[in-house]
Structure 1
Amino acid sequence: MAERTTAGRGDFLSRGGQYEYRTLTIPRTTDGNDARRMLTYEAEYGRWELARTRMYVGGERRVLLRRKIIRVQSTLGADLD
């Protein structure tokens, strides 16, 4: 049986991992339930995770989302012994 280890964010970055980022601006007229629903949708279907949330004086919210960039290596030229 293979041994499993839990890798944190620092471990992912130290192994050369990268994130892509997306900024959402939520207007002050949007209530909390609608904002939560929108962020839940992005997390479930877009594979985004919440990186930072800022609320400004006027009530506007800016949300920074991130997700891991996964690079796939081709196995077409690999020796299949």
Structure 2
Amino acid sequence: MTGGRGAGTIARMEAVAGDYEFAPLRIPPGTSRSAAATMLSLQSETGGWELIRLQLHADGTRKVVMRRRARLSYLPKPHI
């Protein structure tokens, strides 16, 4: 594992230009495509998040960036 973070962790939350907050996520290798899709759809339904970017790396790691309007900050943070 790189960066010293555990599998499926959130790097940090940050507000950008006051309109959106972003959540960079890491989905560990070995997670099936359908399981990853289910995790991300649950985050969007329960926390108001939308998928901005998904990168699939050669080792199977998926790096995801999700965003939501900053006014929805009272909703739960994504956790994978």
TM-score (norm 2): 0.64
Residue range with higher mean Cα deviation, 16-25 or 60-69: 16-25
In structure 2, what is the equivalent of residue 38 of structure 1?
39
Q: Does 2:64 align with 1:66?
A: no
Identity %: 38
Larger gyration radius, structure 1 or structure 2:
1
Instruction: Give SS of 1:58's match.
Output: coil
> Which ranges of structure 1 fall in alignment gaps of 5 or more residues?
1-15, 72-81
Structure 2 Cα separation of the partners of residues 34 and 48 of structure 1 = 17
- For residues 1-80 of structure 1, what are the structure 2 equivalents within 5 Å? 18-70=19-71
TM-score (norm 1): 0.63
Paired letter, 1:21:
F
User: Matched residue pairs, number?
Assistant: 56
Per-residue deviation at 1:63? 0.5
Task: Name segments (4+ residues, structure 1) moved above 3 Å.
Answer: none
Structure 1 Cα separation of the partners of residues 18 and 27 of structure 2 = 29
Per-residue deviation at 1:17? 5.4
Instruction: Give SS of 2:40's match.
Output: helix
